[in-house]
Amino acid sequence: MSAEPFGYESWQIRKPAVEARDGVVASQHYRASAVGAEVLAAGGNAVDAALTAGMAIGALEPWMSGLGGGGFMLVYVAAEHRAYAVDFGMRAPLALDPDDYPLVAGADADLFSWPAVREGRNVAGPLSFAVPGLVAGYALALERFGSREWEQILAPAVALAERGLGVDWPLTLRVAQAAPALARDPECARVYLPGGHPPTGEPDAPQRIHLGELAATLRRLAEDGPRAFYRGDLARAIVADVARAGGRLALDDLANYEARIGSPLSVAYRDAVVHTDAGLSAGPALARVLGMLAERHAPGERPDPQAFVAYADCLAEAYAERLATLGEVNPAPTCTTHLSVADRYGNLVALTQTLLSIFSSKDAAGDRGPDE
């Protein structure tokens, strides 16, 4: 009797090309892309669409980015033939005390393999809180480059947050990965661990989860304007909640925060110019990679094995240099959520926003007001 052949699976993984007449929005979540595309269709420009989609994705993938994070944005303004960099990275609170973070043996279990800190205080819990920059960065970009009103930028995110987060396999996977840390905070556990377990989407389990106070916070921010996040009642509520949790974020940290617009790091590569962020980010490493490739590799009509070896070698060398030589000053965020937008006017946006770690500090505010 002949043996049955072993079964196998054949996967084809591609990123299809996208064509559109009036612009394109590409993001990690199709609903965020659709929100941005609607802005373009209504006459908004690339910055309007990027900010609207970026705010919306915070309600669709809250483990990646949101109001408590930061990031940076590259904007190419076609009418000026010029690129700009908007920096809204997170910053440490002024009252941060290095003695709160004693090193212990080993490396942390987070994304970066940093030296381990006692109890993981640098990556989870109230002592890991940084000064958020996202709201300030959005407000500055909208004022300088956008054409819509602030409340219009937030409206789709408010609607998504009010609807709640649909339970699908990415949500289940992310929550399961972070479940031990999420379980330590009562509000995170209430939101993301219904019944004490990650949501699964099974018939007898929640099909949609309510994202705590996010919808109320977004509505408040839409009504009061972006300054309220840093100087108004909302700022006082944030600081009071952080203080109750044991963190060091103060009103002065929020009030003194400023996003910045500057020039990007622009690199000539063969017959093109690549614009990237100039801060403590992957931008300088990318510039180094492009420089090495220009010197060491002559491209053919299409990538071949030698091309991929060259890419890998240059990336490995550039990142070894980055880790060995870049210090811990003027910190900039790392990549988590990224989206790109092109509009009918020729404007381009590359937006990166981050919580730095999955689910950020795994510590969330409950139903608390500024006067409690």
Q: What is the pLDDT of residues 48-92, one digit of tens each?
A: 999 999 999 999 999 888 999 999 999 999 999 999 999 999 899
Tell whether 197 is covered by a domain.
Answer: no
Residue 106's pLDDT is 81
Overall average pLDDT of the 312-340 stretch? 71
With tokens 């950020």, the residue in question is 360
Tell whether 289 is covered by a domain.
Answer: no
Residue 313 has pLDDT above 90, yes or no: yes
Tell whether 65 is covered by a domain.
Answer: yes
The half-sphere exposure of 265 on its side-chain side, counting CA atoms within 13 A, is: 16
Distance CA 130, CA 145 (A): 27
Q: What is the pLDDT of residues 359-371, one digit of tens each?
A: 887 777 654 433 3
Q: Which of 11-25, 245-259, 279-293 has the lowest mean pLDDT?
A: 11-25
Give the domain range for residue 75: 23-164+210-264+332-354
Distance CA 67, CA 226 (A): 11
Distance CA 226, CA 103 (A): 37
Distance CA 344, CA 21 (A): 7
CA distances from 341 to 5, 20, 257 (A): 48, 12, 27
Overall average pLDDT of the 155-159 stretch? 97
Radius of gyration in angstroms for the set of CA atoms belonging to the chain, rounded to a whole number: 22
Name the residue with higher pLDDT: 109 or 97: 97
Asked if residue 153 lies in contact with residue 52, where contact means CB atoms within 8 angstroms, the answer is yes
Q: Count the helices and strands in the chain (H runs, E runs).
A: 12, 12
Tell whether 104 is covered by a domain.
Answer: yes
Q: What is the pLDDT of residues 23-53, one digit of tens each?
A: 999 998 999 999 999 999 999 999 999 999 9
The total domain count for the chain is 1
Instruction: Name the percent of the chain lying above pLDDT 70.
Output: 90
Distance CA 177, CA 158 (A): 27
Helix axes 214-224, 233-245, angle to 10 degrees: 150
Query: Buried b / exposed e across 220-238, counting CB within 10 Å, b at 16+?
Result: bbbeeebebbbebebbbbb
Tell whether 326 is covered by a domain.
Answer: no
With tokens 């060398």, the residue in question is 317
Query: Buried b / exposed e across 4-22, counting CB within 10 Å, b at 16+?
Result: eeeeeeeeeeeeeeeeeee
Which of 234, 38, 29 minimizes the C-alpha distance to 148?
38
Tell whether 110 is covered by a domain.
Answer: yes
Tell whether 190 is covered by a domain.
Answer: no
Residue 93's pLDDT is 93
Tell whether 233 is covered by a domain.
Answer: yes
Q: Residue 283: what are its φ and ψ, rounded to 5°?
A: -60, -55
Instruction: Name the percent of the chain lying above pLDDT 90.
Output: 52
Distance CA 110, CA 125 (A): 13
